[in-house]
Amino acid sequence: MRYLPTKPSLDEIWKTIEEYGIDRESLEKTAPDDELIFKIYTALKAINEKEQELQQMTC
């Protein structure tokens, strides 16, 4: 059986976005749709993974 990753909850997505210093209230004022929020989240996760890879290479 193959493992299928679960989609993160909206709360988890916002937590990640806010961890990068993006203010939720300010972003919500631009009326982003769920797709845009998920794209921002995905980009931030990719940055985090790349940073972790680079840290492991330098240790």
Extract the runs of DSSP E, i.e. beta strands, from 1-59. Answer: none
Q: Is the distance from CB of 50 to CB of 40 less than 8 angstroms?
A: no
pLDDT attached to residue 58: 82
Q: Is residue 19 part of a domain?
A: yes
Measured in residues, the chain has a length of 59
CA distance 39 to 44: 9
Residue 27 domain boundaries? 10-58
Residues with Cβ within 8 Å of 52's Cβ and at least 6 positions away in sequence, in order, are none
pLDDT attached to residue 2: 59
Q: Which two tokens stand for residue 36?
A: 């845009």
Q: Is residue 4 part of a domain?
A: no
Amino acid letter for position 6: T
Tally of domains in the chain? 1
pLDDT digits (tens, 9 = 90+) for 1-59: 556 667 889 899 999 999 999 999 999 999 999 999 999 999 999 999 999 998 888 86
